[in-house]
Structure 1
Amino acid sequence: KTGALENITNNPAQDIFPMWAPNGKIYFVSERTSRANLFSYDLATKQTKQLTHFMEYDVKFPSIGPGAIVFEQAGQVWRLDLATDKSAPVAITVAEDSVSTRPALVNVSRFIEGLDLAPDGQRVTVVARGDVFTVPAKDGPTRNLTQTQGVHERSAVWSPNGKSIAYLSDATGENELFVRAQDGRSPAVQLTTGGDTYYFNLSWSPDSKKILWGDRKQRLRWVDVATKAVSLVAENPDAPIFDYSWSPDSQWVTWVRNVRGTLPKVMVSSLADQSTLTVADSSYASSRPTFSDDGKWLLFASARDYRPIYSDTEWNHAYQNMERVYLVALAKDTVSPFAPKSDEVAIAKDDDKKPSDDKSAEKPEKNDAAKKAVVVKIDADGLADRVISLPITPSNYGPIRMVGDKVYYRRVPGGPVGGGGGGEGFGGGAATRSVIAVYDLKAKKETELGNFDSFELSANGKKLLLRLGKDYSLIDTPAAKIELKPEAKLDLSGLELRLDLPAEWKQIYDESWRQMRDFYYAPNMHNVGWAAQHDKYAALLPWVATRNDLTYLLGELVGELHSGHTYVGDGDRAQAPRIKTGLLGAEVSRDPASRAYRIDKILHGENWQTKTRSPLTELGVNVHDGDYLLAVNGTPTRDLANLYSALVGTVGKQVVLRVNAQPVDEGAHDVTVIPIGDESPLYYDNWVQGNIDYVSKQTGGKVGYLHIPDMGPEGLNEFVRRFYPQLDKEALIVDVRGNGGGNVSPMIIERLQRELVMINVGRNGTPTPNPRDMLVGPKLTLMNEYSASDGDLFPYRFKTLGLGKLVGKRSWGGVVGIAGSLPFTDGGTLMKPEFAPYAKDGSGWIIEGHGVDPDIVVDNDPAREFKGEDQQLDRAISEIVTELKTQRQTLPPIPAWPDK
């Protein structure tokens, strides 16, 4: 056996599932035809033959056995005879009780999609598992208002008069608006027809006569509940309109316009004359607009606090926590709550009326309805001059609500991203706990009410709905810090419905198809005949028996678009409980003679941080390479079928190991360690450091090396961790092989792209480049077929900007962008490619479906790679050393000191 490698397929298509048969042929699945089919390669004749010719559905998951290959196609099992190359379906009858698809009465409180508070706070609408419920604050039954099967109702909102609940439903096959009585005693009324896109959240007008909503066609519209007439408020050619609300007199709508190339601005549109005013222009990013309940003010969050943070790693800046809550006086004669005040003596006039003894003068108003109706007056002239800010801590704010003299808001401080803590929405980092607070304009004082994830005030301002994690509580609107009592927690035990899984799965299938239709970046859907694709895979729905089956089918459907990032997953599916096995951070092997386990190699890490802690290297643990593990928690390892059977469930727990330099008990000693659950960070760290050392050794210390595993916070951390300590190198190899993508490649490219402008030097100092923190010298990027997404974009940017050569294999080829999943009834996810790059000269679409071609193609031989040889890295070293001979850039010596 020579270990020599022969490439038997070499075409742009994907060739997978190789199977070596005794007849001297290698069988595999290839996508070189319009569908994935089975092929064979004859080792003697070197000929490739297509064996199946399916045109509608792909061949999947082949498995070879004596004389035949079985595979899945169109939901059936097929058998291909190796002697004849003929295939036929296998008749399979499974006697089963369809337990997984039986209707069942289930509690759906785990699948809450949204809540809305009744105007008086006595009930809460809850959307869960596609149905609309109302839950009492304390007493009474939970009501399922819709009770539909295979329908997704969402965005349920209570009318301000308390009579009705509006919601979105796809009962017709498209998104439409419905309204029904809040007690559910009368049938639902459909308000809209002709739905042709995705609809965003509903908003009732305060007079309960109109409902506002935005959609994916970037319109903002409202419907008259009585006449069902639909009117347009605004259209935005640059982006959908998500952020909107009504004025208290129901005659104005405020909304946020996102404009390409500028910052989002706050608009106000009149229903009376269809005019639109700009309240907060694009000088600052503004959002979350809302009118005060008295109609005198428009409140919004805006990023206007500029307080740069200087980086600890280099001379650079960032901005965080830039927002405050702002108020704009809509009428010129509105008095600022922060206007100067002076106590003066009141002077009586002769004609002042004497105190009346009329008892009727002391009578209170009958009710709130007797109060004068609010009329919103907006003086367009000078609006920008009437903006004031609340004197509160700059942070991130929203939602906002003003009732009387009190402004309620949610504050979310920005913080570190990634594995640290804080940083809402970036890179999966845990968000800093948000604060619900109120600012009293009379007392000029802010009161923090507590740490909660979200809040909603009732329309009358007397009740407050709070969410903390998965718990919801309803309380009287407080004036001081909240101390929740158990009885305030909403009782969700009544959120029950009869679940028809096949009907739900069909709805999820249809909605997935619609969402892709409405959000996919290319309106022509790549000309794949999207309607026909729906019907093609819908034909397989009757055979879906589990949520995993549905996920698989959805993957096949969206796969027809031939795009990357079309991910499907999650949902309500059975999952086996997982018990983590403790790991020691070492490679071990069994000694045949003693049956003890030998420690062949301890993986060294960085024990000051949890992620790369190596248990056998911690302080006080006296263990070395070559030692033997004789017992685990008193159980002799010679009695174990497998060492790790004794480490099941020990992650983070103390384990006593008996260790000796020889596989005998005499002279052994015990050590206590705490196993880890994942050794991959240790292997990764050792691999990277090994490459750094190898490159340095091969180049005489002249060339630096770093690897970027992804383009998220962890990848950024790796870059910063490895880049700055190597700025003294003369050249750099940047390795993005296996990079899983993200969005930080522009930040990294900016640092690699810096050009020398001047050189700084001080007394007795060493010359340093300016700008600082740059590596002067040639650079090179290593890439392979697993450089994906932003890992594709990095080498493209690197090459386009002329930063150096690309070495390795063509990258993955998936750069269409995603923006998160929309809600599904069972918590499933669907990622929709919503934007894609094309060439800066307009010549065409780039990267997607092909990848980025390297300047120098090098494919690692698997046999040699298994032995530890990295041909791609060796070629990169060879290239960069050659470049150093002709392109070496060193700082010129210090000139003669000035003579003045």
Structure 2
Amino acid sequence: MHSLLTRCLAAALLGAAVAGPTAALAQTATQSATPTGEREGFYRFPTLRGQTIVFTADSDLWRVGLQGGRAERITTHPELEARAALSPDGRTLAFVGAYEGVAEVYTLPLAGGVPQRLTWQGQNPRVWGHTPAGEVLVTAPAQRGEPVTQLYAIDPRTQAQRVLPVGQASDGALSADGHILYFTRLGLLSDNVRAYRGGGMAQLWRLDLRGQAEAQPLLPVPAAGARPAGNDQRPMPYRGSLGERIAFLSDRDGQFNLYSVNAQGGDLQQHTRHRGWDIRHASIDGTRVVYALGADLRLVDLETGQDQRLAITLGGDADALRARWVQRPQGFFDGARVSPDGQRALLNVRGRLATQGTGTLRRAELPVPADARCRDGVFGHDGRHVYALCDIAPAPVAAGAPPAELEVWRFNADGSGAPLQITRGATMRRLAIFPSPDGRWLAHTDKNGKLSLTALTPNGPGATRAVELPGAARNAPAQLVWAPDSQSFVFTRGGADANRGRLFLHHVAQARTVALTSDRYSSSAPAFTPDGRWLYFLSDRHFASLNAGPWGDRNLGPYFDRRSKIYALALQASGPRFPFQPRDELQAEGEASAAPAPAAAAASAAGTAPARTGGAAGAARSAAVAPLELEGLAQRLHEVPLPPGNYTRLHTDGRRLYFLEADSTVERRTSLRTLAIENTGPQPELFAADVNDYELSGDAKRLLLVRRAASPQQAADIQLMDAAAKPPTEPAVLARTQVRWADWQIQTEPAAEWRQLFDDAWRLHRDHFYDAKMHGTDWPAVRRKYAALLPRVGERRELAELMAQMVAEVGALHSQVAAGDVRRGPDDIAAAGLGARFSKVAQGFRVEQLFRSDPELPTEAGPLVQAGVKVGEIITTLNGRSLAGVAALPELLRGQVGRQVLLTVKPEVASGSAGAERRVVVLPINAEREAALREGDWEHGRLQRAAERSQGRVGYLRLRAMGRGDMATFAREFYAQLDREALIIDVRNNNGGNIDSWVLTQLLRRAWAWWQPRSPEGAETYSNMQQAYRGRIAVLIDADTYSDGETFAEGFKRLQLGTLIGRRTAGAGIWLSDGNRLLDRGIMRAAETGQYALDGGWLIEGRGVTPDIDVDNPPRATHEGGDAQLDAAVNHLLRQLAEQPLPRPVAPPHQRP
């Protein structure tokens, strides 16, 4: 589920291995500073050569000797430099850096100098070491399009690349003579799981580069169905007293420790025995291995067994720990609320709160501690206070104390004084708060679905009581709105099965909850009129399909757009006529349909709004509101005469209805519209376009508008204006509506913020994880274990790695961790490509491959294809510059995405083709589009391969993920191949999403009858169900089939739709919502919703989906273009067709019935 995050996170993630320090080390880590002012850091990615160790800390590279001591900083760029490898002579470093904003491989003399760039792919390469000849070993996506990682050896002097002939290589190393390649197949690249045993387990393989033989497993492979010994990864060849051996990391004893075997995979020896903690990164030189354990580095001699912790300290300025200013906090905007009088807005930004008026009015920042986060803030009844959900810890914090829970706190709206805690005793995430209009009550909900009421008094909070809720539900109560007299409130709550929202009303004094709508239709957005006579709401009760019938190309079924209508409930049995009811003879001339209550009318005549305060003013307001009559309330239903639409966020000031309407485009852009409450046939009017959100003030006189921001980093326009049928149009008046907040800068204290992020991630995981028992993990103890390392953290990515180690303890996939707000360098230069693969020749770059795309979609073609360039032609100049001496074409394409580039192209002389040199103009594409084209070319090759091997009888389509765009791919490719006798659906390397049920629905359709038209002569018969596929189907899966790709495969198998072919899948079977984002937009993902079958077993998680026919794609054969899994699917389908041919429908003779 949620593919766009699941695997795209890999670019920002910290690696698959998860680890920590020994228990004793964790205890000593609570104090990271030395008496001399030096400090202990969080050490990662070590490399070793001779007497020198290089590692990453504070996002920079450092060097230190084998005895530890004070490390020397090598790099100083604010971006991350990591995964370094010292050259065989120990004089040069290869590493991954982001000097231009894109992670690429660089080299740098150990003594210092200017970093030199080696790669230009924009595809997040990783460095693993060097060949004996000094080439840099790098993994990156395959350049020919296969959705696998590839090993490359890059000459640091010439940038020449050679591809090592294996696919699915996650890392690798060469023997001392360069003849044998040891590499890791598979392994988790982004998930953080302790003792993972799914289909993607890491395996050690070896390949003899001297011949053409296939690669072989280095260690014994368990028999089918047997439990694998563990994940084996990071091969490190060395020669010791026992001859040539391979050291590696394995979790076969429960944690990643260091092992070795001989060159034939025998004589297994274990060299470290850490318990409860994993070795993460390791590097070898001779028989010595340096490795990362927790925040430390350790050095072990494989011959003597001596293993020691290196006491390393960092000097320097620790710039990442210095208090910093977030220059554009608008990119962390979490919403705005309006004050009761509509004069100020409450801004929720990056865990901070501020109240702000228009013009030059002061911005009042509320006193949120540096190590706390506040969210979901709202004004109190009189605007003098703000209530928010905050994790403010008591002061002082006791050593070893559990983290503060999310509680309701009250702030003075002007920023003065200290906040007051309102609620206590939370054990689950509180979700939302709703203060009553008279200031006497505070309603609040939590993640467990509970709704509570806390009494508010002048002296602080009173008692809290739970509101009894009817039946089971899938979500907590939401959209709660109070009646104007504060005697009752209405909320929405979805059912346990259908999850259609229902409206419920709770009467506070009677402690009684009644249903206002049934679960027949989904209802939402309740809104009381200020006089308490009407409750308006939205409900999806209009169903008019845009598809008039089942006919037509790619008709996936009825689609019901614009389902919402507006309804009203009369809150008194003997109240006024429905205000939209047309005037008739029973209504006297001039009589209003719904006259306001006398007190409200008097207040309106006086030009004042009813008071919203407690005491006497509150009593006066209560008297002005008509009393609620519960009996028969649900039956007093009226429909507002308004055409149906895509409506949300309904409010009313008693004179007009305000609501958002989304258009029917993919972007679903929303506009604010109004409708006058009258019986003369009012029409909706556009108030404002491109409105993301809005709110009506408590006195119903003012509006807060939040406009759509131009980009996520820019400040959205926030406006405060009078509630009316139309907004002001005069520029001067409009300028006075603007809330000035684009200049807001927020100061943060990184160490304090990191503590909050760590605790928030831990708390959110506890509250979101699908198993309340956390898979049997002592979650508080896990927090204490890893919190001990917090003082060692020196930058945001280190904190993310610490979180990764922590979440791995739970042992579930969908456990990616991504850093949020990290330090960036000044440059951000996008990589660009031309949709082709090149080789270097003397005159420039020869076109070796043009990535194919759908020829009937010309705008989808790559830049060179659109320009008419052919394979074999040579590009000699770019924007007038000769390419003869340029090592990499992408070097000159940097920053040229979408900009016209002039190329000189000439035919290859050796080809003998005629034609003069010519010039073409192209528009380079970004790295993501280039990668998509490359993969699309590989898919085109699979389609062609299936067609050729079956003489056109077997079709092929591939789903890269399970999102909206992938459904478009399915619709395009599936229906184009309905005439094939068999079909292969390829979900290998599928990243997941949530559309499995859509695809399965189409595959479940069956043709049960046929139509035979009379004319034209020889007309083809066609089926009912229309466009139902009748052929045989096989689905391809592999170890990288993930999340919803696996759910689709499991459903396909259980519904007996065909045959699964390939290898066991990853095992990510628990879905999630990603609703646990951190304040800086980072995340420690929590698997939230498990799947089980009626036979009583949990599905997929930790095991994966097992194929019906197990077929491997061997590494070397795959690299050379083979696809054994696809070939097996074609052969299997052809056998099925031979054994049981598809019956051809033939119309019977005509006869009289």
TM norm structure 1: 0.92
1:42 corresponds to: 262
Which residue of the partner structure matches residue 431 of structure 2?
200
Whether 1:68 and 2:68 are equivalent positions in the alignment is no
Checking the alignment, whether the CA contact within 8 Å between 2:1011 and 2:1023 is kept in structure 1 is yes
Query: Is 1:286 aligned to residue 286 of structure 2?
Result: no
Q: How does 1:421-570 map to 2 (within 5 A)?
A: 422=666, 431-442=667-678, 444-451=682-689, 452-468=691-707, 469=709, 470-481=716-727, 483=729, 485-492=734-741, 495-570=744-819
Q: In structure 2, how many angstroms separate the alpha carbons of the residues matched to 1:52 and 1:689?
A: 48
Q: Does 1:873 align with 2:1122?
A: no
Counterpart of 1:786 (choices 1026, 1040, 1048) is 1040
Take 2:419 and 2:805, find their aligned partners in 1: how far apart are those partners?
36
Alpha-carbon displacement from aligned partner over 1:62-101 (angstroms, at most 9, x marks no partner): 2233443322111112223243354322332321211111
Find the counterpart in structure 1 of residue 466 from structure 2: 232
Maintained 8 Å contact 1:112/1:127: yes
8 Å Cα contact 2:1006/2:1029 also seen in 1 = no
Determine whether 1:651 maps to 2:891: no
Code of the residue aligned with 2:472 in structure 1: it is: P
Determine the C-alpha separation between the residues in 2 that align with 1:731 and 1:573. 50
Percent of counterpart pairs with the same letter? Answer: 28
- Report the CA distance between 1:540 and its aligned residue: 1.0
Aligned residue for 2:820? 571
Distance in 2 separating the partners of 1:45 and 1:774: 52
Q: Distance in 2 between matches of 1:13 and 1:362?
A: 76
Q: Evaluate the alpha carbon distance shift between residue 261 and residue 414 of structure 1 in structure 2; reply closer, same or farther with a 3 A threshold.
A: farther
Are 1:864 and 2:1117 counterparts?
Answer: yes
- Give the AA of the match of 1:600: E
Query: Closer, same or farther in 2 for the Cα pair 1:880/1:454, shift >3 Å?
Result: same
* 1:21 equivalenced with 2:21 (yes/no): no
Q: Which has the higher contact order (CA 8 A, sep 6+)?
A: 2
Call closer, same or farther: CA 1:522–1:668 in 2, change over 3 Å: same
**1:606 CA displacement:** 4.2
Secondary structure at the aligned position of 2:1101 is classed as coil
1:127 touches 1:154 (CA, 8 Å); kept in 2?
yes
Alpha carbons of structure 1 residues 362 and 814: separation in structure 2 relative to 1, 3 Å: closer
Aligned to 1:852: 1105
Offset of 1:780 from its aligned partner?
A: 1.2
Q: Secondary structure at the match of 2:800?
A: helix
Which segments of 5 or more consecutive residues in structure 1 lack a partner in the other structure? 348-359, 416-421, 423-430
* Aligned pairs (5 A) from 1:312-461: 312-314=553-555, 316-334=557-575, 335-342=577-584, 364=606, 368-369=610-611, 373-415=623-665, 422=666, 431-442=667-678, 444-451=682-689, 452-461=691-700
**Residue 286 of structure 1: CA displacement?**
0.8
Q: Which residue of 1 aligns with 2:847?
A: 599
2:955, 2:418 → 1: CA distance? 72
Of the candidates 973, 977, 982, which is equivalent to residue 726 of structure 1? 977
Once the two structures are overlaid, the 10-residue window that deviates more, 878-887 or 738-747, is: 878-887
Return closer, same or farther for 1:19/1:395 CA change in 2, 3 Å cut-off: farther
Correspondence 1:616 to 2:864 = yes
- How far did 1:254 drift? 0.6
User: Counterpart in 2 of 1:426?
Assistant: none
Q: Which residue of 2 aligns with 1:777?
A: 1031
Q: Per the alignment, do residues 507 and 315 of structure 1 end up closer, same or farther by CA in structure 2, a change over 3 Å counting?
A: closer
Q: What secondary structure, in the 3-state scheme, does the structure 1 residue paired with 2:505 have?
A: strand
| Kept after mapping to 1: 8 A contact 2:804/2:1084 | no
SS across alignment from 2:383:
coil
Q: Which residue of 1 aligns with 2:483?
A: 247
Match of 1:214 among 425, 445, 457: 445
Task: Provide closer, same or farther for how the CA distance between residues 367 and 690 of structure 1 changes in structure 2, counting only shifts above 3 A.
Answer: closer
Cα distance in 2 for partners of 1:808, 1:366 equals 74
* CA shift for structure 1 position 344: 9.4
CA distance in 1, matches of 2:880, 2:287: 50
- Quote how far apart the aligned CAs of 1:538 are: 0.6
Give the partner amino acid of 1:503: A
After the TM superposition, which of the residue ranges 532-541 and 239-248 deviates more from structure 2? Answer: 239-248
- CA–CA separation in structure 2 for the residues paired with 1:653 and 1:363: 63
Q: Secondary structure at the match of 2:431?
A: coil
Name the CA distance, whole Å, in 2 between partners of 1:812 and 1:587: 31
Aligned CA-pair RMSD = 2.6
**Does the CA contact (< 8 Å) of 1:584 and 1:614 recur in 2?**
yes
Aligned partners of 2:441 and 2:454 also within 8 Å: yes
* Structure 2 residue identity aligned to 1:218: G
Give, in whole Å, the separation in 2 of the partners of 1:626 and 1:128.
Answer: 55
Question: Aligned partners of 1:896, 1:611: CA distance in 2, in Å?
Answer: 49
Secondary structure of residue in 2 paired with 1:772: coil
Residues in 1 aligned to 2:414 and 2:578: alpha-carbon distance in whole angstroms? 43
* Pair 85,881 (structure 1): closer, same or farther in 2 beyond 3 Å: farther
Match of 1:191 among 416, 419, 422: 422
**Deviates further, 225-234 or 275-284:** 225-234
Shift of 1:207: 0.4
Which consecutive unaligned segments of at least 5 residues does structure 2 have? 1-210, 222-227, 394-403, 590-601, 612-619, 710-715
Query: 2:344–2:720: 8 Å Cα contact kept in structure 1?
Result: no
Indicate the SS of the match to 1:521.
Answer: coil
Tell me the equivalent position of 2:217: 7
Greater shift after overlay, 701-710 or 394-403? Answer: 394-403
Answer yes or no: is the 8 Å Cα contact 2:485–2:622 preserved in 1: no
On the 8 A contact 1:778/1:887 being kept in 2, the answer is no
* 1:318 partner SS: coil
**Which moved further from structure 2: 605-614 or 55-64?**
605-614
Contact preservation (8 Å) 1:248, 1:374: no
Q: Secondary structure at the match of 1:638?
A: coil
Distance 2:700 2:609 in 1: 15
Q: Distance in 2 between matches of 1:346 and 1:65?
A: 99
State the AA in 2 paired with 1:895.
Answer: P
Bigger mean CA offset, 85-94 vs 528-537: 85-94
Q: Structure 1 pair 719/342, CA: closer, same or farther in 2 (3 Å)?
A: closer
* 1:257 aligned onto 2:493: yes
Deviates more, 1:289-298 or 1:863-872: 289-298
Question: C-alpha distance in 1, partners of 2:706/2:694?
Answer: 6
Equivalent residue letter for 1:840 = L
Pick aligned residue for 2:376 from 155, 173, 191: 155
- Letter aligned with residue 367 of structure 2: T
Q: Distance in 2 between matches of 1:99 and 1:544?
A: 13
The answer (yes or no) to whether the contact 1:456–1:464 under 8 Å persists in 2 is yes
The within-5 A match list for 1:755-834 is 755-763=1006-1014, 764-834=1018-1088
Q: How far apart are the structure 1 equivalents of 2:700 and 2:865?
A: 60
- Output the CA distance in 1 between the equivalents of 2:517 and 2:405: 35
The corresponding residue for 1:695 is 946
Greater mean deviation of Cα atoms: 605-614 or 326-335: 605-614
